[in-house]
Amino acid sequence: LGHGSGGQLMAELLRDVIAPHLAAPIEDAAVVPFAGGEAVLSTDGFVVTPRFFPGGDIGSLAVYGTVNDLAMRGAEPVALCLAYLLEEGLDVAELHAVTASVAAAARTVGVPVVTGDTKVVGRGAADGIYLTTTGLGRRLPGADVSAVRGAPGDVVLLSGPIGSHGSAILSVREGLGFEADITSDSQPLHGLVAAMIAAGGPDVHALRDPTRGGLASALNELAAASGVGIDIEEAAVPVPPAVAAACELLGLDVLHVANEGCLVALVAAGAADRVLAAMRSRPEGARARVIGDVVAGPVGRVTARTLVGSRRIVDMLVGEQLPRIC
Amino acid sequence: MNLRGVRVDVHGTVQGVGFRPYVYRLANLHGLRGDVRNVDGRVLIRAAGPAERITSFLHRLAIDAPPAAHVAGLSAVDVPAEDVPDGGFHIRGSATDGSGAAGSREMPADLATCPACLAELFDPADRRYRYPFINCTDCGPRATIVDDLPYDRERTTMARFGLCGDCAAEYRDPADRRFHAEPVACPRCGPQLWWRGPSTTAGGDALACAVAAIAHGGLVAVKGIGGYQLVCDAADDAAVARVRAVKHRPTKPLAVMVADLTAAATVAHVSPAGEAALTSTARPIVLLPRNGSGGFADGVCAGLPEVGLFLPYSPLHHLLLHALRRPLVVTSGNRSGEPIAVDDEVALTTLGPLVDGVLGHDRPIRSRYDDSVARVVAGRAVLIRRARGYAPAPLPLPVAAPEPILAVGAQLKHTTTVAVARQAVIGPHTGDLADEATHDAFTDTVDRLCRWRAVIPRVVAHDLHPGYLSTRYGMDRFAAPHRIAVQHHHAHVAAVAAEHGLSAPFLGVAYDGLGLGDDGTLWGGEILHASYTGYRRLARFARAPLPGGAAAVRRPARMALAYLYAAEDLGVPRPDPARAGDLPARLGAREAAIVRRMIDRGVNSPLASSCGRLFDAVAALLGLCDETTYEGEAAVRLEAAAGADSEVPALPWRVVRRDGLAVYDPAPTLRAIVERDRPAGWMAAAFHTTLAEVTCALVADAAERTGVRAVCLGGGVFVNRRLTTDLRDRLGRMRFDVYTGEQVPVGDGGISYGQAAIAAATLAEE
Ligand SMILES: [Fe+3]
Ligand SMILES: [Mg+2]
Ligand SMILES: [Zn+2]
Ligand SMILES: [Zn+2]
């Protein structure tokens, strides 16, 4: 890939590589029909090494990640914008593959990529491909989902097993050999959320997809934002055996490992059974479980009942994992 | 006759230890008039009489003080004799002097049953015959039952028990041993035992039920002084195995209570220093070399050549031993890492289902204090865990804190210190702050220490490690200008210097597991040129990765591979990993391969210049410990393997200079170990000798560069008796002044005290 300064090369890039996959953006901005209600907006940058991994790639991740961020506010996706930042020297075949994946993911979700942007920067100024996706969504009727709405007595639901995405990425990037057994959970969650809202309406208080920082960070953020405490049962959190084995070997706490295809929900106790049933009716939520409950305090504290019955404090990940043992 | 009047101000540990009755008796002995009273935490005396008798009184005042008292300071000023009230000598009630002199509020530590009370306990004619709560001014619970200061019955958990006529008379009689013994009680008016087992009963029957259960090989939870304890027959293999299962403590040695020194001597070699520690009023658990003849189940010591013994320190312990007449395993009633249970409901719900019965009583425990642990190193008893019997008696600070300071310690083996003026009060020792109950115990301790001292600290001293929950606590509650971050190893060596009252800069040898350095790597094998306000790193151990972080700490076999594959290259080849024998096989081929890969790729493999981790690696290379179940286990096993032979020469070693630091390169040492031609025990001993030689070289170099001759040995590695003793000898011969932690643990239990000393000096300098 040559260096682009907005001239002939760029036009060819758009025409030959990107447009065949996506409805080529020919206007400066897209007009999107929007049928009333509340608009929900989200944007996210995607940087991942390697760009292709078991269970996904940077293209599908960029679509699902933003769709999921919209879903975490109780919104269905309406349209997506996509911006490429490409490094000079990138293999054009790879750009084809990523763009094809974006298109396939958008079809899966059922939303168009309506506009976008492409920039090429000099060698070394970026690492291959960076994607930024912006999503426009519409708040689902009856949804009132916010990180601040968790309340004592709420039940904590988790939609599926954790730890696959982060351990798959790490394994393939560092050649650790787990990649045959571990596949990223990268998938869109808007359908799952729609089912949950249909079943629970405003009783679905808070949603979060435990991406970077893992379930531990997601729960800590929810607890802090809602001004509550959260207690979970370690044994209730599903972890695929291969992920558990990898984390054990790598010295990682699976609660800190990133996910791209599950969500955690704080739901009013009275609606928990209904919402859980709705989750389990969908493939993304087939293994949904109650993992704990929301308590009054201490505010911001998340604890896990361990397998031996004591309670340990579940912490946010602070930077690098430095052992606390002396 | 030449009359003289004096006003004496005594401070130190002078409340709750029978000091006023002692002064009363001493004054009467000298025929003096006047009075004595508690004012906040001090004792104020006014006395008048013939000049030479005043002189004698003053002379004896400090040196004859009751055993549990500690006179930290005594000042006497002359006053006109006529200002001293007439009409004999009197004990007056507690008072506050209204000055809010917070620095003098001192908390007495718990005291073991005294000989006089013990005699009464087993005297059928005594009205407290077999009464499990007998005590007097020389003994009994103190810190564990106190709600607030000044120390008076109404501010203890004894307030709920009204004194009967007999007890009240003793309590009010200045000539009586129980004058103002705040927890005084008798069978008629005091606390009573209860038993919850297959049956439910109270009083003497409760004791009998517990005794029967233990005698039949059962496991019983007993409410002790500072918390519930698990008790069983130390000779019963099955019972000992059950204790381990209940506590989730597979291999860490268990403490054994024996009746007296004679019983102790039948199972262990009791040195004079060991004897003094065993019989002190603090009654710590003392680690002593076994004399090989058994006496209890193998599972108690888990293959180690030492046993932790202690003598009974409460009347209830005496009664149990008297009835059972055998060594008993007595260990804290908790699972590993959790705090000892103090609350009856908690004990009944958490321990109750796991044991054959719970022996409790209705005297609440206000503060949680685990048993203290001491070891005799180089002829002196050093505290490994400063808890019941010691804490929270204050320790001096070398530089007075200009304002109250809260020092929040580290993460494991956690303690908290509150510093007020020249005193540092170290709270009880707990476990891992990541355990919620331990964290709650920590915050409770902070509240309690501050309330006792009547201070609201505006400054917090904390570790550099951002992930320690103690650091988080400090960050959450104190704004940046009120926080002082203290490097972990600076705190370790400052704790030693402060305990010994050093004032000039010193050389700190910090040999430890891990602590975060100021360069973002983990430290643990450092020589610092330090004062209380700063330090410069002069030397370090070579760095090695920790593949898997904490996982590498739990698995010494990983550390061994890490040193072989990736110890810092300092110019000579590392030993050939192919010579590591069956180590990779023991670790498992898959794990060994992944560890290798993690090291190569730097996956979750932080670098550490740690002495403790080198111990781990050597223990694994010698086949002594591949995996640990408690902190420091690999080093414990390595020291045990080294045996008693002190004449083993060093292995090869080298020190190089890198970026201005002297760096110990263990490559030649490790090569000798993997190519070993001697038994593991000999190699273990030789490794100890090597570290002593290396350390002497590093210290000599540091002394040459700084001119400093005072050396403070700090960090958990110095729990190691062999290394510490050898190093003291060698450095002593090189005419260094060597100090190590005695009252303050060298391990992380001492961190909060070191932080307090540093923060106090730092504030004082500003
Ligand atoms: Fe330490
Ligand atoms: Mg996002
Ligand atoms: Zn006594
Ligand atoms: Zn009485």
SS (H, E, C) chain A: CCCCCCCHHHHHHHHHHHCCCCCCCCCCCCCCCCCCCCEEEEEEEECCCCCEECCEEHHHHHHHHHHHHHHCCCEEEEEEEEEEEEECCCCHHHHHHHHHHHHHHHHHHCCCEEEEEEEEECCCCCCCEEEEEEEEEEECCCCCCCCCCCCCCCEEEECCCCCHHHHHHHHHHHCCCCCCCCCCCCCCCHHHHHHHHHHHHHHEEEEECCCCCHHHHHHHHHHHHHCCEEEEEHHHCCCCHHHHHHHHHHCCCHHHCCCCCCCEEEECHHHHHHHHHHHHCCHHHCCCEEEEEEECCCCCCEEEECCCCCEEECCCCCCCCCCCCC
CATH 3.30.70.100 is right for the domain spanning B3-104: yes
pLDDT bin (cut points 50, 70, 90) of residue A24 is low
- Please determine, for residue B106, whether its predicted confidence score (pLDDT) is greater than 80: no
Residues of B labelled catalytic: 20, 38
Q: Residue A36: which residues within 8 A CB-CB, separation 6 or more?
A: none
Q: How far is the CA of B259 from the centre of ligand 4 (A)?
A: 28
- Give residue B96's pLDDT: 54
Write the CATH number of the domain with boundaries B193-373: 3.90.870.10
| Ligand with smallest separation from the Cα of B116 | 3
Closest residue in chain B to residue A306, using alpha carbons only: B435
**Chain-centroid distance, C-alpha A203:** 22
CA-based R_g, chain B, Å: 27
Whether residue A298 is preceded by a cis peptide bond, meaning omega within 30 degrees of 0, is yes
Q: At residue B186, what are phi and psi to the nearest 5 degrees? A: -145, 175
- Give residue B319's pLDDT: 98
Least confident of A79-93, B10-24, B166-180, B636-650: B10-24
- Give residue A26's pLDDT: 66
* Cβ–Cβ below 8 Å for A322 and B437: no
Chain B residues inside the 8 Å CB shell of A223: none
For residue A70, count CB atoms less than 10 angstroms from its CB and return exposed for 0-12, middle for 13-18, buried for 19 or more.
Answer: buried
Query: What's the rounded mean pLDDT across residues A254-265?
Result: 97
pLDDT bin (cut points 50, 70, 90) of residue B20 is confident
The pLDDT tens digits for A202-237 are: 999 999 999 999 999 999 999 999 999 999 999 999
Q: Residue B405: which residues within 8 A CB-CB, separation 6 or more?
A: B418, B419, B457, B459, B460, B461, B756, B759, B760, B763
% of residues, chain B, pLDDT over 90: 81
In A, what residues contact B, Cβ < 8 A? 170, 174-177, 248-252, 301, 303, 308-313, 315, 318-326
- Please determine, for residue B98, whether its predicted confidence score (pLDDT) is greater than 50: no
Nearest residue to B226 (alpha-carbon basis) of B322, B134, B343, B113: B343
Site of tokens 């005291």: B111
- Give residue B103's pLDDT: 38
- Please determine, for residue B192, whether its predicted confidence score (pLDDT) is greater than 70: yes
Domain ranges for chain B, please list them. 3-104, 115-172, 193-373, 394-500+749-765, 510-740
Closest residue in chain A to residue B336, using alpha carbons only: A310
Q: How far is the CA of B21 from the centre of ligand 3 (A)?
A: 14
For A174, which of B516, B601, B748 is closest by C-beta distance? B601
pLDDT bin (cut points 50, 70, 90) of residue B102 is very low
The pLDDT tens digits for B194-211 are: 999 999 998 889 999 999
For B465, which of A251, A303, A322 is closest by C-beta distance? A322
pLDDT bin (cut points 50, 70, 90) of residue A294 is very high
How far off is chain B from A148, nearest CA to CA, in Å? 20
Length of chain A measured in residues: 326
For B436, which of A248, A303, A322 is closest by C-beta distance? A303
Closest residue in chain A to residue B435, using alpha carbons only: A312
How far off is chain B from A70, nearest CA to CA, in Å? 32
- Give residue B56's pLDDT: 94
The pLDDT tens digits for B545-558 are: 999 999 999 999 99
* Cβ–Cβ below 8 Å for A313 and B436: yes
d(C-alpha A278, C-alpha B692), whole Å: 67
- Give residue B37's pLDDT: 87
pLDDT bin (cut points 50, 70, 90) of residue A34 is confident
How far off is chain A from B27, nearest CA to CA, in Å? 52
* Cβ–Cβ below 8 Å for B604 and A176: no
Q: How many CB atoms lie within 10 A of CB B683?
A: 24
Chain A residues inside the 8 Å CB shell of B435: 310-313
Site of tokens 């923060």: B759
Query: Residue by residue, what is the 3-state secondary structure of B661-716?
Result: EEEEECHHHHHHHHCCCCCHHHHHHHHHHHHHHHHHHHHHHHHHHHCCCEEEEECH
CATH 3.30.420.360 is right for the domain spanning B394-500+749-765: yes
- Give residue B6's pLDDT: 95
For B434, which of A175, A308, A313 is closest by C-beta distance? A313
Counting one residue from chain A and one from chain B, the pairs whose CB atoms sit within 8 A come to 111
Query: What's the rounded mean pLDDT across residues B20-43?
Result: 88
The pLDDT tens digits for B412-467 are: 999 999 999 999 999 999 889 999 999 999 999 999 999 988 899 999 999 999 99
* Cβ–Cβ below 8 Å for A174 and B598: yes
Please tell me which residue, B471 or A29, carries the higher pLDDT value: B471
**B683, B676 Cβ separation under 8 angstroms:** yes
Tell me the CA distances in angstroms from B668 to B527, B564, B651, B664, one per residue in order.
21, 11, 8, 10
- Please determine, for residue B95, whether its predicted confidence score (pLDDT) is greater than 70: no
How far off is chain A from B296, nearest CA to CA, in Å? 28
Query: What's the rounded mean pLDDT across residues B85-92?
Result: 86
* Cβ–Cβ below 8 Å for B514 and A325: yes
Q: How far is the CA of B137 from the centre of ligand 3 (A)?
A: 6
pLDDT bin (cut points 50, 70, 90) of residue B63 is confident
* Cβ–Cβ below 8 Å for B603 and A170: yes
Q: At residue A9, what are phi and psi to the nearest 5 degrees? A: -60, -45
- Give residue A3's pLDDT: 61
Query: What's the rounded mean pLDDT across residues A281-308?
Result: 95
H or E segment to which residue B444 belongs: helix B436-453
For A326, which of B513, B603, B604 is closest by C-beta distance? B513
CA torsion B651→B652→B653→B654, rounded to 10°? 160
Query: Which of B414, B603, B719 to mutate: most A Cβ within 10 Å?
Result: B603
Q: Residue B677: which residues within 8 A CB-CB, separation 6 or more?
A: none
Torsion sign (Cα): B644, B648, B654, B655 = positive
Chain A residues inside the 8 Å CB shell of B433: 313
- Give residue B101's pLDDT: 44
Length of chain B measured in residues: 766
Alpha carbons within 13 angstroms on the beta-carbon side of residue A159 total 31
- Please determine, for residue B107, whether its predicted confidence score (pLDDT) is greater than 90: no
Q: How far is the CA of A68 from the centre of ligand 2 (A)?
A: 8
The pLDDT tens digits for A106-123 are: 999 999 988 888 889 999
pLDDT bin (cut points 50, 70, 90) of residue A319 is low
Q: At residue B74, what are phi and psi to the nearest 5 degrees? A: -145, 120
Q: Residue A259: which residues within 8 A CB-CB, separation 6 or more?
A: A162, A163, A164, A165, A166, A185, A209, A210, A211, A214, A215
Query: What's the rounded mean pLDDT across residues B44-65?
Result: 92
pLDDT bin (cut points 50, 70, 90) of residue A320 is low
Chain B residues inside the 8 Å CB shell of A252: 604
Architecture of domain B510-740: 2-Layer Sandwich (3.30)
Closest residue in chain A to residue B350, using alpha carbons only: A309
Query: What's the rounded mean pLDDT across residues B467-488?
Result: 96
- Please determine, for residue B100, whether its predicted confidence score (pLDDT) is greater than 50: no
Averaged confidence pLDDT in chain B: 93
ipTM value:
0.91
- Give residue A25's pLDDT: 59
Tell me the CA distances in angstroms from B107 to B16, B641, B709, one per residue in order.
8, 42, 36
For A311, which of B436, B546, B552 is closest by C-beta distance? B436
The pLDDT tens digits for B708-730 are: 999 999 999 999 999 999 999 99
- Give residue B579's pLDDT: 87
The pLDDT tens digits for A156-166 are: 999 999 999 99
- Give residue B99's pLDDT: 43
- Please determine, for residue A10, whether its predicted confidence score (pLDDT) is greater than 80: no
Q: Please tell me if the domain spanning B3-104 has the same topology as the one spanning B510-740.
A: no
Q: At residue A113, what are phi and psi to the nearest 5 degrees? A: -90, 110
- Three-state secondary-structure class, residue B186: coil
Averaged confidence pLDDT in chain A: 92
How far off is chain B from A37, nearest CA to CA, in Å? 40
- Give residue B1's pLDDT: 63
The full set of domains in chain A, from first to last, is 8-139 (3.30.1330.10), 155-313 (3.90.650.10)
How far off is chain A from B341, nearest CA to CA, in Å? 13
DSSP string, B23-56: HHHHHHHTT-EEEEEEETTEEEEEEEEEHHHHHH
List residues bridging with B526 in a β-sheet.
B510, B540
* Cβ–Cβ below 8 Å for B631 and A313: no
- Give residue B94's pLDDT: 65
Alpha carbons within 13 angstroms on the beta-carbon side of residue A193 total 37
Closest residue in chain A to residue B747, using alpha carbons only: A326
The pLDDT tens digits for B254-305 are: 999 999 999 999 999 999 999 999 999 999 999 999 998 678 998 999 889 9
- Give residue A304's pLDDT: 97
